[in-house]
Amino acid sequence: MKTKVYYLDEKNINTKALDEAAAVIRQGGTVIFPTETVYGLGANALDEKSVSRIFEAKGRPSDNPLIVHISNYDMLLYCIGEPLSEKAQKLIAYFWPGPLTIIFKKSKGIPKEVTAGLDTVAIRMPDDEIALSLIKKSGVPIAAPSANISGKPSPTAPEHVIMDMVNRVDVILCTSNTRVGVESTVIDISGETPLVLRPGGVTLEELREVLGEVEVDESIEEPGITPKSPGMKYIHYAPKAPMAIIRGGEIKVREKILELSKKEKDKGLKVGVLTVDENKESYGDYEVISIGSKEDSNQAAHNLFDALREFDKLMVDVIYAEAISENYLGLAVMNRMKKAAGFNIIEV
């Protein structure tokens, strides 16, 4: 398959490329497009054959359901098989368009390939002009997972998408790096207490402000428990090198990383350290990448996936990462870091 790649200027969107991409979606093809979270790999969500091409392109297990992206409320009503609850209306009013995915009962219009056989469907309205225009011009909701090869970090920059996906999809629409940098928050509001199935771009603090009590699915922290969100069970976001997270008091964390790194270096191995701006001078002997100031979880979210891919480019043999605080976007960042590390956490 030959991929057509277009670079779009957000301030002056090339409508020709968008028209072509929308026609590709209507004809059953695949299009990679930017969203505010990460790049998505989209196809017509109402057509099972189109959807199967997504799984093929990503090498994704077909028991992992997809998020359906919409551009207006008619599309939402077409996709769901229940009246809009009060909680749903509130969430939509506060957070759409934006990085929040809501689980609904699915309508008959959504093929089972999209939902991996579940009777629920995950829906979001992205906060990105290119994504919204593409959906609008296509005239159909677009099913789209993150546009990475299954298991790799999600793509947040055009070069990530090009690296993974050229000649696996029909069209790639590139623009600048994505704003948020981690995927959307997935929330289930079907029970008494709303449950976050995947932490992401909308924070737990923001959700609690709007809904009151909100819990986090505990299985996302405990690798032994089967998560309610099927996608959370796979190894994910993994850089090529094994990674360990060091968590504890700041001084002890630094000492531990220096101790472990020296051991590996003495064996002749190349060590990567994932840290924050405030600490990056401490690890001079190693390949150091900072995800931004420790005071700013937005920066950490924006930079994490690129940092993980950078370590691949540097061809390090092992990565030690400082844990960051789990407030605000830190919850999503630490969730992705834990998965990248296969839950290998060293407490000090």
**Contact residues for Mg ion (CB under 5 A)?**
146
Contacts of 249 (CB under 8 A, 6+ apart): 348
Question: Nearest residue by C-beta to ligand TXA?
Answer: 231
CB of 149 to Mg ion, least distance (A): 10
Compute the Cα dihedral for 247, 250, 252, 258 and give only its sign: positive
Phi, psi (deg, nearest 5) at residue 24: -60, -45
Site size for ligand TXA, by CB under 6 A?
Answer: 29
Interacting residue with ligand TXA among 3, 64, 177, 282 (CB under 6 A)? 64
- Are 237 and 152 contacting, i.e. CB atoms less than 8 angstroms apart? yes
Residue 25 in the binding site for ligand TXA (CB under 6 A): no
Among ligand TXA, Mg ion, none, the one that 275 touches (CB under a kind-dependent 5 to 8 A) is none
Give the Cα separation of 43 and 27 in Å (integer).
9
Which tokens hold the place of 299?
A: 């920066």
CB of 268 to Mg ion, least distance (A): 35
Coil, strand or helix at 198: strand
- Are 42 and 32 contacting, i.e. CB atoms less than 8 angstroms apart? yes
Is 34 or 272 the residue whose CB approaches ligand TXA more closely?
Answer: 34
- Are 69 and 142 contacting, i.e. CB atoms less than 8 angstroms apart? yes
Contacts of 49 (CB under 8 A, 6+ apart): 28
Is 146 or 299 the residue whose CB approaches Mg ion more closely?
Answer: 146
Provide the mask over 262-291, with x wherever binding to ligand TXA is found by CB under 6 A and - wherever it is not. Answer: ------------------------------
Among ligand TXA, Mg ion, none, the one that 118 touches (CB under a kind-dependent 5 to 8 A) is ligand TXA
- Contacting positions for ligand TXA (CB under 6 A): 35, 37-38, 40, 64-67, 99, 101, 103, 115, 118, 120-122, 126, 144-146, 183-184, 186, 197-198, 229-232
